[in-house]
Amino acid sequence: MITEAQLAKMINEAKTATKQRKFKQSIELIMNFKDIDVKKGFALNEVVQLPKTDSPARVCVMATGDMAQKAKQANADAVVGTGELDKFATNKRESRKFINKYDFFLADTQVMPVVGKTLGQLLGPRGKMPTPVPFNAPIESFLQRFRSSIKVRTRASLSVSCKIGDESMSDSDLSINAHAVINAVEKKLPNGEKNMRRIMVKTTMGKPIKEVQEVKKKFA
């Protein structure tokens, strides 16, 4: 398996090779797979918590009552109730704008039926269906976990790309994040590391820095 040191070297090369931009560029991890039959419904839809993060994910909580109050106190990026959800049912354009503003959604289990009815058709295809939060569960802990997480998602494809941080972060921290994502993904592959063909990193506007990860066959 690729090491954090190897990843740090690739990340440094990606940063060095890219031109300076007027905005902060993301660092992206790209993984190519092999020996997987995508026709059999291969898909990844994983939430991976990053050990290091400077840019928290935006999290919206769908709840009412006590959970809504606690979510506001915990500084959730947004808290919406059933009344606001009902309004989205009549305005698809506003619904899409709303959904695109947030990385993750959490929802009180009592509100989930309303979410499914009003926004399910838009959230589902985007892989953004809310994570249910049981009554009296510590919403603060849920928020903390999802703020430092990313979504790794692909369907019927032998490639996936995700953001692991930005160019302002150290090579070491970025390599730790990349390693965490690779570990999480390998656990979901049919044959683990053996299904990993190639790992690459790139900046938003830069070219991919490749590290070929061919698994050598073991002979008895």
Going by C-alpha positions, the residue among 137, 73, 127 that lies closest to residue 104 is 127
Q: What is the CATH number of the domain that holds 159?
A: 3.30.190.20
CA angle 143–147–152, rounded 5-degree value: 120
Kindly state whether residue 162 falls inside one of the protein's structural domains: yes
- pTM summary value: 0.86
Q: Is residue 172 located within the same domain as residue 188?
A: yes
- The amino acid that residue 135 corresponds to is F
CA 107 → CA 78, 196, 210, distances in Å? 12, 35, 39
pLDDT in tens, 98-139: 999 999 999 999 999 999 999 999 999 988 999 999 988 999
Mean pLDDT to the nearest integer, 4-9: 95
Res. 214: pLDDT tops 80: no
Give, for 165, the enclosing helix (H) or strand (E).
strand 159-166
Kindly state whether residue 220 falls inside one of the protein's structural domains: no
Structural domain span for residue 196: 4-54+150-212
Q: Is residue 63 located within the same domain as residue 137?
A: yes
